[in-house]
Chains A and B, each alone.
Chain A
Amino acid sequence: MKRFIFRRLGYAAISLVLLSVTIFLFVRVTGDPTVLLVEPGASRDDLEALTIELGLDRSLVVQYVSFVRDVVQGDFGRSFYYRTPVLELYLSRLPNSLLLAVAAMIFSLAIGIPSGILAAVRVGGWWDGAGKIFALLGLSMPSFWVGLLLILFFSVYLGWLPSSGSGTVWHLLMPSFALGWFFAAAHMRLTRSSMLEVLGSEYVKLARLKGLPEALVIAKHAFKNALIPVLTLAGINLVLMVNVAVVVETVFAWPGIGRLLYEGIAFRDFPVVQATVLLAGTMIVVVNLVIDILYAVIDPRIRYER
């Protein structure tokens, strides 16, 4: 167990190093970093001052070490636009993103799990077919278009919901639905296949043999076990939702991390873009690590693999 955890930690550490190297190198190799890291319209003196401050005249290795040292200390530079440290900005937006992600998750599970179970119980039937179409549509309709259609219908025609901003529950409804839509399809598909697997297992057969009503077999015996992989995926997806909401947050002017990233591009505020990407990658590496370790704790077979 210890060996498994150490090896897994090692992989995660390598991933984080590679992540920082990727981001560091792309900025410096693909163009002139001073153009990205200095505010637009800076004078020659500013440029030279920054070249020296960032050590752009020194070797890449030295530059990398100082880049990592800053990042580890939580120094992601200053935003050109807001003139505050990037980390502060990021942390101030994080709660909004979390709120949106949790709401979107509730939507996606509330749609995905029941429809997945129905599709599995009536496999091959009408509902299964409808579920397939829904899954395909979910994967094919870009979330930002769903968002725009929602605005068109609920804000412009019906005038029921505010089209942008944040503050009340009403503001939260449309963006979380638009964001949850895509994930609902994924959750439905996984619920369906995991439910099918459980329904074919021995203990479900036994439960049926001893004469339990089918509804009880599904609700009490099958459902609980089928839920485990779905909830794992939901855990990963929650972190993804925090980080992929750029378009949805832009459509609804929701003040989260995605919106921050969008402002970063729109105002040519490169330190913000860089920090957002770095933190997104870090979050996902860490979540994958935690889930792998949790799985190894629960299921001993995983520890001895490879």
Chain B
Amino acid sequence: MSVSPAPARLPPAEPLPLGLGLGAVRQRAQGLPLVPIAIVATLLLLAVFADLVAPHNPEIGALAQRFKPPAWSVGGSSEYLLGTDHIGRDVLSRLIFGARVSVIVGFTAVIFAGVLGTSLGILSGYLGGWVDQVIMRVTDTWLALPALTFAIFLAAIVGPSEFNIIIILGAVYWTRYARVIRGEVLSLKERDFVRLAIVANCTKWTIMRRHLLPNVLNTAIVLATLMLGVVIVTEAALSFLGVGVPPPKPAWGLMLADGKKGLMAGYWWLTVFPGLCIVLMVLSANLLGDWLRVKLDPQLRQL
């Protein structure tokens, strides 16, 4: 056997790009927080299709059926899987419709606060001068007010409704975005691409919209995900205190307030289930936010 010249080194076979086999899917899914994604997706689906999924009307109960325990305990019926409340409304149906309230209020408020805070943060960071001073002093002051107390104050003024809650939560939480985004912009505006844009005679408006906004978007999205949990808990607390979503509507915080009436009598399901829903939603949002934070913006790890 003769010694053949070493074959020319081929680059190692690369996996086909866009491989669509199961292995590729699995590889891509690695590190994805699957459980939180599944929980959020389930709650989103329940919120959208509440009318189809819920077995009973969430706002009308049968007084004869009040305080029924969950199906698996003594005295429960399969008609009401998770039991009924103090006026005989089905707890499961109320939880499903409650997901809708939480999702609508949570997402809209987070987006509203995000748009407001990001815009003001960019303005403040890029324009500097008195604009910066005004926006930052207001931000500092509003951050000094405990969020829940501030929200209660605003709710006491404008009165409770689903729409008002969204506006209130937006007004309370935009400062969180403004502070962080301004810091980002302060360092971005010293970078070459912004200087070049100035040399190229771009207007301030163009620079902020085309050059700064896309660069702070990642941060804003991470913040929004982390804020979602906070906003949902605040909404639940407001509803619990009676200044959130007004009564016949099924909101989780409101269910906890109703449930408290039956607490001393041992009607545990009225307290345990709505709270579990809040925790599941908030926990998943926090886990997703943490994951996104590491994924999108390593600089934010210390946030």
Which stretch from B43-51, B95-103, B133-141 is at the chain A interface? B133-141
Contact status A148-B149, CB under 8 Å: no
**Contact status A26-B275, CB under 8 Å:** no
Q: Which of B158, B241, B271, B272 contacts A246 (CB 8 A)?
A: B241
Q: Which residue of A lies closest to B284 (CB)?
A: A140
Q: In this complex, what residue of B is CB-closest to A19?
A: B141
Known contacts A36-B157, A244-B148; is-contact A163 B264 (Cβ 8 Å)? yes
| Identity of the chain B residue whose Cβ is nearest the Cβ of A193 in the assembled complex | B302
Q: Is A89 an interface residue (CB 8 A)?
A: no
B245 within 8 Å of A (CB atoms): no
27 contacts between A and B (CB under 8 A): A15-B144, A19-B141, A19-B145, A27-B157, A31-B158, A136-B283, A140-B282, A141-B275, A141-B279, A145-B278, A148-B256, A151-B264, A152-B272, A156-B266, A243-B146, A244-B148, A246-B149, A246-B237, A247-B148, A247-B237, A247-B241, A262-B241, A265-B156, A266-B242, A270-B156, A276-B149, A277-B145
Given contacts A155-B264, A273-B152, contact A139 B286 (CB under 8 A): yes
- Check if B229 is an interface residue, CB within 8 A of chain A: yes
Instruction: Report B's interface with A, CB cutoff 8 A.
Output: 137-138, 140-142, 144-146, 148-150, 152-158, 229, 233, 236-237, 240-243, 256, 259-260, 263-264, 266, 268, 271-272, 275, 278-279, 282-283, 286-287
B275 contacts which of A19, A31, A139, A145 (Cβ < 8 Å)?
A145
Asked whether A142 is an interface residue with its Cβ less than 8 Å from the other chain, the reply is yes
Q: Name the contact of B142 in the complex, choosing from A22, A156, A270, A276 (C-beta under 8 A).
A: A22
Q: List, in ascending order, chain A residues with CB within 8 A of B229's CB.
A: 139-140
Residues of B within 8 A of A247 (CB): 148, 237, 240-241
User: Is A156 a contact partner of B264 (Cβ separation < 8 A)?
Assistant: yes
Which of A77-85, A113-121, A278-286 lies at the binding interface?
Answer: A278-286
A130 at the B interface (CB under 8 A): no
A34 in the interface (beta carbon within 8 A): no
Q: Which residues of A contact B275 (CB under 8 A)?
A: 141-142, 145, 148-149
Chain A residues contacting B158 (CB-CB under 8 Å) are 30-31
Interface string of A143-174 (1 = CB under 8 A from B): 01100110110011100000100000000000
Contact of A288 among B144, B152, B154 (CB under 8 A): B144
Q: Is A191 an interface residue (CB 8 A)?
A: no
| Whole-angstrom CA separation of A142 from B146 in the bound complex | 15
Q: Is chain B's interface secondary structure helix, strand, loop, or mixed overall?
A: helix
B242 CB contacts on chain A under 8 angstroms: 265-266
Q: Which A-chain residue is minimally distant from B145 (CB atoms)? A: A281
Chain A interface residue number, banded: 35 or more
The reply to whether A19 and B144 form a contact with Cβ atoms under 8 Å apart is yes
Of A152, A261, A284, the contact of B152 (CB 8 Å cutoff): A261
Task: Give, as a whole number of angstroms, the nearest-CB distance from A186 to chain B.
Answer: 13
* CB neighbours of B146 from chain A (8 A): 240, 243-244, 280, 284
> What are the residues of chain A within 8 A of B256 when measuring CB–CB?
144-145, 148
Q: Are A148 and B263 also in contact (CB < 8 A) when A31-B157, A139-B286 are?
A: yes
A256 part of interface (Cβ distance < 8 Å): no
CA A247 – CA B260 in complex, angstroms? 13
Say yes or no: B156 contacts A273, CB within 8 Å.
yes
Q: Indicate whether A14 reaches chain B with its CB closer than 8 angstroms.
A: yes
A22→B153 CA distance, assembly (Å): 11
B241 touches A265 (CB 8 A): yes
- Asked whether B141 lies within 8 Å of A148 as measured between CB atoms, the reply is no
Known: A142-B233, A142-B275, A261-B152. A250 touches B144 (CB 8 A): no
Contact of B153 among A14, A142, A240, A277 (CB under 8 A): A277
- A137 contacts the other chain (CB 8 A): yes
Q: Are A261 and B149 closer than 8 Å at their CB atoms?
A: yes
Cross-chain contact B271 with A15 (CB below 8 angstroms): no
**A264–B283 CA distance with the chains assembled, in angstroms:** 32
Task: Report B-chain residues with C-beta under 8 Å of the C-beta of A18.
Answer: 137-138, 141
> Do A284 and B266 form a contact, CB below 8 Å, given A136-B286, A148-B260?
no
Q: Is A251 an interface residue (CB 8 A)?
A: yes
- B140's nearest neighbour on chain A, judged by CB, is A15
Residue of chain B at shortest CB distance from A15: B141
Residue A23 interfacial (CB < 8 Å): yes
Residues B287 and A136 in contact, CB atoms below 8 Å apart: yes
| Interface residue from B141, B148, B286 paired with A140 (Cβ < 8 Å) | B286
Verify if A63 is at the interface (C-beta below 8 Å from B): no
Q: Quick check: B156 and A142 within 8 Å, CB to CB? A: no
Most buried by B among A139, A142, A288: A142
A96 in the interface (beta carbon within 8 A)? no
On chain A, the residues within 8 Å of B271 by CB distance are 145, 148-149, 152
| Closest A residue to B276 using CB positions | A145
Interchain nearest-CB distance for B169 vs A (Å): 15
A243 and B268 CA atoms in complex are apart in Å by: 29
Complex: how many Å from CA A137 to CA B280? 10
Which residues of A, 125-145, contact B by the 8 Å Cβ criterion?
Answer: 136-137, 139-142, 144-145
Across the interface, which residues of A come within 8 angstroms of B137, CB to CB?
A: 11, 14-15, 18
User: A148 CA to B252 CA in the complex, in Å?
Assistant: 14
Q: Does A51 contact B (CB under 8 A)?
A: no
The answer to whether A280 touches B237 (Cβ under 8 A) is no
**Pick from A140, A157, A284: contact of B279, CB under 8 Å:** A140
Chain B residue at minimum C-beta to C-beta distance from A240: B146
Assess A277 versus B279: contact at CB under 8 Å? Given A151-B263, A284-B144. Answer: no
| Cα separation A11 to B138 with both chains bound (whole Å) | 11
